[in-house]
Structure 1
Amino acid sequence: MGERKRYSKEFKLEAVRLAKEPDRSVLQVAQNLGISDSALHRWIRELEGQGQAGLPPENWTG
């Protein structure tokens, strides 16, 4: 098995921001960025789970 790819917090935040734009789908954004749509869905859920603070999870370094 290959190593799991790690993405920066900034990359994840930008991917989530793009996926939330009204004229884009999660699948389109994921394909454009070269990531899986399941990873992007997970990042969206993780960010939404932060509640009012809107801050990314502390473990968003990889």
Structure 2
Amino acid sequence: MATIREEIISATINRVYALTDFNIHNSLEKQHEYRMQTVLADGSLTKDEKSMVVKKEFVKIVIMNV
């Protein structure tokens, strides 16, 4: 199994949030879609790392909407 690099995952999540333009992505759906597209297009992450970022992003959205 591939090694999950937690520091890379955290840096990716921070980068994706920093790149989000709230004037363009003005709803939660648009923000989530943009972030997922950005993560999935990132060539520096393995498939397992991309999956981990997507799961963490999903958990954040669920927690925010509770």
What TM-score do you get using the length of structure 1 for normalisation?
A: 0.40
What TM-score do you get using the length of structure 2 for normalisation?
A: 0.39
Greater share of residues in helix: 2
